[in-house]
Amino acid sequence: MAVASHSSSLDRESVQAAHELIRPYIHRTPTLTNATLTALASTPQDPKKLAGTSWEGRTPAKPKLRLFFKCENFQRIGAFKCRGAFHAIERLKQDKEWLDGGGPEKGVVTHSSGNHAQALALAAATNNIPAYIVMPTISAPAKIAATKGYGAKVVFSGPTSTEREAAAAKIIEETGARLIPPYDHPHIVLGQGTLGLEFQQDAAALLAQEPSPLGGRPVFSILGTNAGIFGKGLDAILAPCGGGGMLSGVALSCEGTGIRVFGAEPWFQGADDAKRGYESGTRVESVKTLTIADGLRTPVGKVPWSIIYERRLVDGFFSVSEAEIRDALKLVLERFKLVIEPSAAVPLAVALFNEDFRSMVEREAGEQGWDLGIVFSGGNVGTDKLATLFDEQVAPKM
């Protein structure tokens, strides 16, 4: 069931309109830099670390990367998801059919492993609308507690997307609540894409005012009126991909700017469904994985796929191992002093460890290098989970 009886066009202008609509409800999260991580990204990997990988025997790449981080771990509910949830609710409030049919009293429903669950619970509570949230029984306890804390009624289901959707359908039948999907709807995509607009503006402003971390002052072109007063700034953005709502939204926000967009995924137990689908030309519709990047365990939705693949607004995908995700997460904790969740560490892991990505940058950017945006998608991870992640005896085997 659609979020509303009408949908916006899927373009950059609609992302801008979504940003205006949700501005009162969200934080404009910071764009930060880190000299240590930038230096590591621009340093060739030790050849010994490539042993046993598909890159064994290859000369490590020497890309020049200047990293910028969009810190959605500082967003309300601790993740980017509230952007899409608030946009969906605001658009729903413009739906006369829903209002006249008693929609605000019947409520809204969704299925989510945690971040969209919390986001919709908050957006609904802000508007005094009942919220029913279907969560897998394996969801992180902290995310379950937070969702309940915002006043939502939590209903548990099995871990697969099919099981979640079946539980949500039952609630709809019983209550008449309106479904707000976690990622597969235009209003969600446009809301999530608003982080891309902020990222472009803030990174360009930083680049205009400060010398490059690796020396020199970057030169960038000025765009049309949609870009505001800032230049392009970033050369590319790496964003994590689960259901694809945020990645496709960011891609829309970059349309026509010259900024390239890439998706980042874990490959553990087939979690790299978007990469496999992108390369084969057929969307993978089912995923069953227990990757530590729990926010990326879902298959790419139809709406995101139409943007990512059919319109080719995403330039490609790169995947990383569980060990590489943990290594990136540890670096952020120890050298950046930020708390992020494993899913948020995946794009950084690509920039640091994926030799295909790093070789591409070296080849295409040359001596000039890239100003690369990394999306830290969220920070919802408990201390107990962090302790488990770094316990090699219980970490998932590769």
Q: DSSP assignment of 299-335, as one string?
A: PPPHHHHIIIIIS--S-EEEEE-HHHHHHHHHHIIII
pLDDT of residue 296: 93
**Which of 14, 113, 157, 343 is an active site residue?**
113
Q: What was the pLDDT predicted at 211? A: 52
Cα 146–Cα 147–Cα 153 angle in degrees, nearest 5? 140
Q: How many CB atoms lie within 10 A of CB 30?
A: 12
- Looking up tokens 């009942």 gives 130
Low-confidence ranges of the chain (pLDDT < 70): 1-8, 210-232, 392-398
Quick: pLDDT tens for 228-267: 344 559 999 999 999 999 999 999 999 999 999 999 999 9
Q: Please tell me the distance from the alpha carbon of residue 85 to that of residue 217, in angstroms, as a whole number.
A: 39
pLDDT at 139: 82
The confidence score (pLDDT) of residue 361 equals 98
Domains of the chain: 12-79+186-389 (3.40.50.1100), 81-179 (3.40.50.1100)
How many other CB atoms are found less than 10 A from the CB of residue 56?
A: 11
Q: Is 70 an annotated catalytic residue?
A: no
Closest to 344 in 3D by CA, of 238, 235, 199 = 238
Rounded CA gap, 95 and 129, in Å? 15
Q: What is the pLDDT of residue 7?
A: 57
Q: What is d(CA 155, CA 167) in angstroms, rounded to the nearest whole number?
A: 8
Task: Output the pLDDT for position 224.
Answer: 32
Residues 70 and 197 sit within 8 Å (Cβ to Cβ): no
Which residues on neighbouring strands pair with residue 376, listed in sequence order? 71
Report yes or no on whether pTM surpasses 0.85. yes
Catalytic residue among 64, 81, 232, 275: 81
Adjacent-strand bridge partners of 133:
110, 154
**Active site annotation includes 113:** yes
Asked if residues 381 and 275 have their Cβ atoms less than 8 Å apart, the reply is no
Specify the pairing of strand 31-32 against strand 65-71: antiparallel
What is 126-153 written as a DSSP string?
Answer: HTT--EEEEEETTS-HHHHHHHHHTTPE
Q: What is the pLDDT of residues 133-155, one digit of tens each?
A: 999 888 878 888 989 999 999 99
State the Cα–Cα distance between residues 272 and 237, nearest whole angstrom: 18
Burial string for 3-23 (b: 16+ CB within 10 Å, else e) reads: bbeebbebebebbbebbebbe
- How far apart, in whole angstroms, are the C-alpha atoms of residue 124 and residue 386? 30
Per DSSP, what are the bridge partners of residue 261?
A: 237
Closest Cα to residue 87, out of 161, 197, 204, 171?
A: 197
Q: What is the pLDDT of residue 213?
A: 44
What is d(CA 263, CA 240) in angstroms, rounded to the nearest whole number? 6
- Per-residue tokens: 90: 């605001």
